Amino acid sequence: MANKLSSSEIAVQMSAVPHWSRTGDLIERTFTFGDFLASMRFVNRVAVEAERTQHHPDILVKYNRVTLGYSTHDAGGLTEKDFGAALAADAASVS
């Protein structure tokens, strides 16, 4: 199981994902696309990665905007899994 990160470890990880914001045990980013279908293509790429890693974000789709939220519930905080998933989502958003 991934270990819960300390505040200083989180600060280091956050610097690698500048488009993400942290609220407590959650990191979030809203992505903007051209239309609903582009949003759905992104969501499906994220879903494949979520199943592969067994780490699932909360996903909110509002037409051309998709908000992802990651937290590691069973660790009770943020872990490396959350930041790895955030980096993967960033990459998937431009592919």
Please name the residues in contact with 6: beta carbons below 8 A apart, sequence gap of 6 or more: none
Residue 36 is a binding residue for its own copies (CB under 8 A):
yes
Our finding on whether 32 is near its own copies (CB under 8 A) is no
Which residue do the tokens 């759905």 mark? 40
State the nearest-atom distance from the C-beta of 36 to its own copies, in Å.
5
How many CA atoms within 13 Å lie on the side-chain side of 16? 14
Structure tokens at 59: 């996903």
Residue 60 touches its own copies, criterion: CB under 8 A: yes
Q: Is 6 in the site for its own copies (CB under 8 A)?
A: no
Q: Which is nearer to its own copies, 68 or 78 (CB)?
A: 68
